[in-house]
Structure 1
Amino acid sequence: MKNILSLVITLVLLFGMSCVDQADKADLKALKSKQHVEEHNKQVIQKYWEGKWNERRPEILDECQTPDVLYHGSSMSMTGRDAYKAVYQSYLSALHNTHLEIEELIADGDRVVSRCLLTGVHAGELEGLPPTGKTIETQMFTVFRLVNGKIAEEWEIMDELGFMLQLGMELRLKEPAAE
Structure 2
Amino acid sequence: MSDLKATYLAYLDALNDRRFGDLTEFVHDDLTYNGKMLTRQEYADMIAADAQAVPDLHFDAHLLTSGDDLVSARLWFDCTPTGALFGLRPTGQRVSFAEHVFYRFRDGRIAEVWSLIDRDAVRDQYAG
* TM-score (normalizing by structure 2): 0.85
Asked if 2 retains the 8 angstrom alpha-carbon contact of 1:139 and 1:158, the reply is yes
CA distance in 2, matches of 1:129, 1:106: 31
> Structure 2: which 5+ residue stretches go unaligned?
none
SS of the equivalent of 2:31 reads strand
Unaligned runs of 5+ in 1: 1-37, 171-179
Check whether the contact 2:88–2:123 (CA below 8 A) recurs between aligned residues. Answer: no
* Equivalences, count: 128
User: Could you say which structure has the larger radius of gyration?
Assistant: 1
Q: CA deviation at 1:105?
A: 1.4
> Relative to 1, partners in 2 of residues 1:56 and 1:164: Cα closer, same or farther, differing over 3 Å?
farther
Q: Is the 8 A contact 1:116 1:141 kept in 2?
A: yes
Q: 1:86 to 1:99 in 2, by over 3 A?
A: closer
Cα deviation digits, residues 119-163 of structure 1 (max 9, x gap):
221112345544322212111111110011100111111211212
Structure with more of its chain in helix, by fraction: 1
Task: Please tell me the root mean square deviation across aligned C-alpha atoms, in Å.
Answer: 2.2
Question: Deviations for 1:101-131, whole angstroms, at most 9, x for unmatched residues?
Answer: 2112111101111112112211123455443
Quick check: which one's strand share is greater? 2
Indicate the structure whose relative CO is greater, using CA pairs within 8 Å and at least 6 residues apart: 2
Q: TM-score, normalised by structure 1?
A: 0.63
Identity, % of aligned pairs?
27
